[in-house]
Structure 1
Amino acid sequence: MIETAFTKLVGVEAPIMQGGMQWVGTADLAAAVSNAGGLGIITALTQPTPGDLIKEIERCRKLTKKPFGVNLTILPAINPPPYSKYVDAIIKAGIKVVETAGNNPQEHVKRFKDAGIVVIHKCTAIRHAISAQKMGVDMVSIDGFECAGHPGEDDVPGLVLLARAAQVLTIPYIASGGIGTGRGLAAALVLGAAGVNMGTRFMCTVESPIDENIKKTIVDASERDTALMFRTLHNTARVFKNAVSKEVVEIEKRGNAQFKDIQHLVSGERGRKVYTTGDPDFGVWTCGIVAGLIHDIPTCKVLVARMVKEAEDALSSQKIIKSKL
């Protein structure tokens, strides 16, 4: 295994973290990733109430004795969830690692830190990473333009963001977005990251709780099969390119589109049913361009071990090349 600042901080064997994913980050997947040597993550808001989150954490503890964490993503919403109560639940449950994402998490970070919890904040821009560092997070996850979900509005890819992070940050960071192979892990480490965070790649594992047909859809997809919607609303989201996301983008292209014009197309419930029905065109669902690198549906154990071995081989090869120059 590869030891880094990340593996030491959270107590895992492999520098690989499973990202928080709405409707996907359940105890089953989190435990499988942790048992494989990485850091599994339960997505807090997938659970309908803070009480349900506590039950899911308890269920995960029955499936693994290894470290796992919880993701809390803070996004603008018409009826926002009770974030503070989810924070209460996370602290009450004795979670040791939290991934925060989305809007400024400062008030929640303070509570987590007061409770002795390791906080990893996901950022899509260097300026946000610097702000997170100032507010006292332990580590940041640098999320490049390649990622699924919300890549921010700057359109800067991971290759540049990771190199910039090495120049300006004094806390450790991990790479997120576009990672799906051991070569990607090796590249992230060379760029200064202490590990990687993966979402789409872990969707395509045996233990992922989504319908098998969606996994096969990702396997069959290329790096060109995602779409960027909400661009005109300045809340860009990378999703799978299907009939629904294409309609959303066309409505936006007409100009002066408001959220109410597309709300019926992008409801979370429709996205959730994609994962349960196996119909990739039922609603919008997040997917990164890393889909072009995904060609199988392994167990989490096989995936993590394979990535670490590929990374070790790639890093060893790099040393050989350097010695000949």
Structure 2
Amino acid sequence: MTAVSELRTPFTELLGIEHPVVQGGMMWVGRAELAAAVSEAGGLGIVTALTQPTPADLAAEIARTRKLTDKPFGVNLTILPSISPPPYDEYRRAIVDSGVTIVETAGASPEPYMDFFHEHGVRVIHKCTSVRHARKAERVGVAAVSIDGFECAGHPGEDDIPGLVLVPAAADALSIPFIASGGFADGRGLAAALVLGADGVNMGTRFLCSEESPVAEEVKRRIVAATELDTNLIFRPLRNTARVAKNSVSDEVVRILDGGGTFADVQGLVAGSRGRRVFEDGDLEAGIWGVGLVQGIIRDVPPAGEIVTRVVREARVVLDAALRRFSA
């Protein structure tokens, strides 16, 4: 892997990283090896807190990451409504007691936790799917925002606004650094995001399909073979839209809900334990699993660090070529 010169933006300056490329927190995926590889290459790797079964396990995973890199990395903490919620307070305590100073929050508003994070010197990056939510996150004191366009894997919100509009709209509305998420996998995307006003990119599916990603090789091969047409939007009638891989399970979920079914009618199909089997066992029909439209332009499974340096190098080439093309 050949090093590339730093690509600095307000986001990299804020976090002390070399390149404005973030490996988003992904359930069952954001583990030490992947996060460390991204950070070691100059990006920002993210360990996913709730992938770890207990706060003590999270502390151990953070320690493992530190053994693999001495560069900055963050921890994702996704806060969602649940019948039996995880012990979020204990996970937050494990994060700060481990000395982590960068946290990516998602799901519910981070407002109830901002005093705690500020008290411990933690800079919060909050994931949003709309400008209005990004502006609220700025008001409650987050250091940066990651704004997800409709193209993203997982939950794109209910507004259906793609990045080409959402990113410049966020640039017009925010005064804090922000990164663009959803639809990014190469240097063309990073260059476009920067031109549209973002300070970097967050990539999930691209890093899901990397050597260090702790998922079955069958999943990675499917991403490489798939096109941008091979996803489903599930839970649309429930106003809780999620973008997942197209397979027999997600097809059935769409059919049931479009036919007037309720969440209870699909609950067994969408259980998280089934999705975990996809990643661990490579059974692509075992359950639902998140993947973005960007799989249509992913064609290999390189090391995560190579992804970072390749994206930055390509972005420089694209920006230089555009300048030459349109200069007088």
TM-score computed with the length of structure 2 as normaliser: 0.97
Query: What are the residue-to-residue correspondences of 1:238-253 with 2, within 5 Å?
Result: 238-253=243-258
Say if 2:293 is the partner of 1:268.
no
Q: Give deviations 1:28-59, integer Å, cap 9, x for gaps.
A: 11011111111000000101111111011011
Equivalence for 1:65? 70
Equivalence for 1:302? 306
Equivalence for 1:37? 42
Equivalence for 1:234? 239
* Offset, 1:154: 0.5
The correspondence for 1:76, drawn from 78, 81, 86, is: 81
Counterparts of 2:97 and 2:146 in 1: how far apart (Å)? 25
> Equivalent residue of 2:238, what SS?
coil
The correspondence for 1:133, drawn from 131, 138, 146, is: 138
> Equivalent residue of 2:221, what SS?
helix
The correspondence for 2:152, drawn from 143, 147, 153, is: 147
* Offset, 1:105: 1.5
* Offset, 1:321: 2.7
Counterparts of 1:153 and 1:110 in 2: how far apart (Å)? 29
Shifted more, 6-15 versus 139-148: the winner is: 6-15
* Offset, 1:233: 1.2
- Number of matched pairs: 323
Cα RMSD for the two superposed structures: 0.9
Equivalence for 2:107? 102
Q: Which runs of 5+ in 2 are unaligned?
A: 1-5
Query: What are the residue-to-residue correspondences of 1:123-202 with 2, within 5 Å?
Result: 123-202=128-207
Say if 2:319 is the partner of 1:315.
yes
Counterparts of 2:138 and 2:322 in 1: how far apart (Å)? 31
Q: Give deviations 1:169-228, integer Å, cap 9, x for gaps.
A: 111110000000100000000011111000000011111110111000000000000100
Say if 2:59 is the partner of 1:54.
yes
Counterparts of 2:131 and 2:233 in 1: how far apart (Å)? 21
The correspondence for 1:293, drawn from 286, 290, 297, is: 297
* Offset, 1:302: 1.5
> Equivalent residue of 2:86, what SS?
coil
Q: Give runs of ≥4 in structure 1 deviating > 6 Å.
A: none
Q: Give deviations 1:117-151, integer Å, cap 9, x for gaps.
A: 11100100000000000000010001000000000
Conserved? CA contact 1:172–1:194, under 8 Å: yes
Conserved? CA contact 1:84–1:108, under 8 Å: no
Q: Which amino acid aligns with 1:195?
A: G
Q: Which amino acid aligns with 1:107?
A: P
Equivalence for 1:87? 92
Q: Which runs of 5+ in 1 are unaligned?
A: none
Q: Which amino acid aligns with 2:277?
A: K
Counterparts of 2:283 and 2:222 in 1: how far apart (Å)? 10
Counterparts of 1:196 and 1:36 in 2: how far apart (Å)? 15
Conserved? CA contact 1:238–1:288, under 8 Å: yes
* Offset, 1:108: 1.5
Say if 2:118 is the partner of 1:113.
yes
Counterparts of 2:322 and 2:124 in 1: how far apart (Å)? 32
* Offset, 1:6: 1.2
Q: Give deviations 1:70-109, integer Å, cap 9, x for gaps.
A: 0011112221111111111111111010000111121122
Equivalence for 2:3? none
Equivalence for 1:284? 288
> Equivalent residue of 1:232, what SS?
helix
Structure 1 vs Structure 2: percent identity of aligned residues?
A: 59
> Equivalent residue of 2:277, what SS?
helix
> Equivalent residue of 2:153, what SS?
coil
Shifted more, 1-10 versus 186-195: the winner is: 1-10
TM-score computed with the length of structure 1 as normaliser: 0.98
